[in-house]
Amino acid sequence: MNFIIGSIRSLSVVKKSIITFAAFVIGLQIYIKFKKHQSNQKTENLTYKNNDLPKVGSVIGHVLSLHIYPIKSCQAVTTKSTKFDINGFLYDRLITAVNARLTPITQRMIPKLALIKVEMLNPDIVVLSAPHKYKLQALRLNIKSIQTSNAWLKTISLHGVDAKCKDCGDKAAEWLNNTLSIITGKRKKNNRFVMIMDGETRKVCDSMTRFYLDDCQPYDSTRLADISPLTLVSTASLKALNGKIGSGKSVPIDRFRSNIVLKPINDNYAFLEDHICKLQIGKLELRVISPTFRCIIPSVNQETGETEFFKCGKNCEPLATLRRTRSSLRYGATGLLPATMGGSRGLAPLFGLKLGFNLTASHVESGLQLQDEVIQEGDEVIVLAYKEGSNSFINRLFLKIERFFGFNTLE
């Protein structure tokens, strides 16, 4: 207690003001949500409905598809199998667009990034292209040449974690600005592509959201993904979500831009992932770092690059239904950030999992080398362990607040 008091006294006036304001905003959100909870008709939460969980060690489904995103916020490269290292799938989120302030540009800022197609001709060549109707030439990026070049080094920050990157060159920057200007109908300039340096990692435990993570280990790291090395979504959970949206509307699985799509052995396993803390895919053991708290990107149509979020805000789908049925105070505070930083104008809803590797002592001693491992489409997914409670003090605190106000906790 003395340490906490001393730490508070040592803070500057500005930091104290920021903390006080943040506490006020969170308190206000809690109060508003409580009043809505009292006045509105209660909506049934989307949770795992069965009383009994599948036995530990049992097969719960298989890998339906695998997706790599070499260029952050652009289209996925779908693959039958892939290798990976400690940062996730090889080549995943290797390159990002940045603006003049070196802020990464995502679909949160420019939804039309979804229109940029990405192909990998071989491990060294990435080709970017816009839809044919724009009649734009494709851009070829040589990964090896950029990594070994004397290109300008830039340090970018993503979720509070820095990464040293190499500039991809003037030709790539010209293509990016020209393409964005044409597909958005607005002039874009001073944007550039940067590639994270070979061997560079961003530690998950250093991120601004680390206090919300259930099981974050010191070796958890990424390239230019937001927080976790891998992400997973379930087709059964999506089917249950679409059943709640109503009015004949539904959203496809690509809205959630996941690395791994799980197809459970039956639809009764919808949201079973909420209870899992460790699972196995093929021979690979994975650990749940946290549920995925969603920003506005699921509202972006990945085929058209359109979103209703900036017109309808909280009422656009699937965010509206997710917020009604999958809301959580513990993880949802990130939704209070500006939309460009991952916010969603309200508590961030949950859908899917953020995954890290469940490494053995031998992996750690060998320098965390995972390059010989492979994950494949069709691999069995086996549950290894279920949650027994959150490891995070912040999460336990929010859980108590939720229960005090009578919120459903999705547990």
pLDDT tens digits, one per residue of 225-280:
998 999 999 999 999 999 999 777 899 999 999 999 999 999 999 999 999 999 99
Better pLDDT: 208 or 120: 120
Distance CA 395, CA 350 (A): 14
Residue 221 host element (H or E)? strand 221-222
Share of the chain above pLDDT 70, in %: 75
Interval 275-313: pLDDT, tens: 999 999 998 999 999 999 898 899 999 999 998 877 666
Tally of domains within the chain: 2
The residue ranking higher by pLDDT, 324 or 55, is 55
Q: Decide if pLDDT at 1 tops 50.
A: no
What integer pLDDT is reported at residue 405 of this predicted model? 55
Shared domain check, 358 and 235: yes
3-class SS of residue 352: strand
In total, the chain counts a number of residues equal to 411
**Does residue 69 fall inside a structural domain?**
no
401 & 263 share domain: yes
Residue 3 included in any domain: no
Closest CA relative to residue 231, chosen from 168, 298, 158? 298
Cβ atoms of 338 and 345 within 8 Å: the answer is no
- Asked whether residue 25 is domain-assigned, the answer is no
Joined tokens for residue 248: 């004949």
Last residue of a domain, one of 134, 167, 200: 200
CA angle 98, 311, 255 (to 5 degrees): 60
Answer yes or no: do 231 and 300 share one domain.
yes
Backbone angles phi, psi at 36, to 5 degrees: -65, -40
Compute, in degrees rounded to 10, the torsion defined by CA atoms 52, 328, 259, 363. -80
How confident is the model over 84-100, as pLDDT tens digits? 888 999 999 999 999 99
When pLDDT is cut at 50, 70 and 90, the band that residue 150 belongs to is confident
Instruction: Say yes or no to pLDDT of 195 above 50.
Output: yes
Q: Where are the beta strands (DSSP E) in 235-379?
A: 260-264, 276-281, 284-293, 350-357, 374-376
The mean pLDDT of 41-64, rounded to a whole number, is 84
Residue at a domain's end among 158, 182, 200: 200
Q: Which two tokens stand for residue 159?
A: 């979720």
Q: Mind giving me the DSSP string for 14-38?
A: HHHHHHHHHHHHHHHHHHHHHHHHH
Closest CA to 64 of 234, 256, 299: 234
DSSP element (H, E) containing 62: strand 59-68
Q: For all residues of the chain together, what is the average pLDDT?
A: 84
pLDDT of residue 246: 79
Percent of the chain with pLDDT over 90: 55
The answer to whether position 322 is within a domain reads yes
Residues 281 and 375 sit within 8 Å (Cβ to Cβ): yes
Domain span including residue 383: 59-63+204-405
Is pLDDT at 314 greater than 90 in this prediction?
no
Report the distance separating Cα 223 and Cα 198, nearest Å: 10
Q: What is the pLDDT of residue 160?
A: 86
